[in-house]
Amino acid sequence: MHLETIDFYNQNAEELTARYLRADRSELQRILRQWIPLGGSVLEIGCGCGLDAVFMASIADKVTATDASDEMLHQAKRIIEKHGMSHSILFKRAVFPLEPENPLLKEQFDVIVCIATLMHIPDNELFDFAYQIRSMLKNQGIFICSFPADGGQSHDDQRLYVDREPAEISLLFERLRFHLLKNEKSQDGLGRAINWTTSIFCSGGD
């Protein structure tokens, strides 16, 4: 992952958390509720302020919430403690793509969720990132990812933003024996001039 992007989240974690807490999450929660199986296991890549992990923990038995930013993890832990969900969510700092020795690579999940994180993955790391997702998903597992649909994301700070088309993401994961189940379009939960695509994939067998 882009190091300057991680630095940005570390330096602005409190301000960003206050902003994310104001977001309308109803559309995302509808999608998560539809695709996360009751009692399943979930890996969240880029947990941010932790509210999505709280929601997913109300459905799944096990939620592993990861982020590359230590300060965002600190904010997420604070939010999750406030909601009384600390016992349901396991936090891990993780920079994707993971180093080969990372123990997460030995785990298997029913669902992997990656909300507003794909645009921070450099092109030269994207295939390794996708391959690791495949290795951590159970057969017939679900991968949910969201990304700006039309290049509308702001580029006014040092974070990396890579504009990617839905067809590009679909082709990448189909090469790894994923099947695209659905593309969902939605407006930005903070009212910004950004349209989002949420792609839902199912992992296939070997």
Q: Is 125 helix (H, G, I), strand (E, B) or coil?
A: helix
pLDDT of residue 83: 87
Distance, CA of 205 to CA of 184 (rounded, Å): 25
Q: What is the pTM (predicted TM-score) of this model?
A: 0.95
Q: Where are the alpha helices (DSSP H) in the chain?
A: 3-11, 13-20, 26-35, 51-57, 70-82, 123-136, 166-175
Q: For the chain, which domains are there?
A: 3-203 (3.40.50.150)
Of 97, 69, 85, whose CA–CA distance to 77 is shortest?
Answer: 85
What is the pLDDT at residue 151?
Answer: 55
Query: What is the rounded distance in angstroms from the CA atom of residue 43 to the CA atom of residue 62?
Result: 8
Residue 203, judged by CB atoms within 10 A of its CB (0-12, 13-18, 19+), counts as buried
Query: How much is the pLDDT for 153?
Result: 52
Q: Which residues make Cβ contacts (< 8 Å) with residue 50, sequence separation at least 6?
A: 65, 75, 76, 77, 79, 80, 89
Rounded CA separation 51/140 (Å): 26
Tens-level pLDDT at each residue, the chain (206 residues): 778 999 999 999 999 999 999 999 999 999 999 999 999 999 999 999 999 999 999 999 999 999 999 999 999 999 999 988 888 899 999 999 999 999 999 999 999 999 999 999 999 999 999 999 999 999 999 999 999 976 555 566 889 989 899 999 999 999 999 999 999 998 888 888 888 999 999 998 55
Segment 100-113, tens digit of pLDDT: 999 999 999 999 99
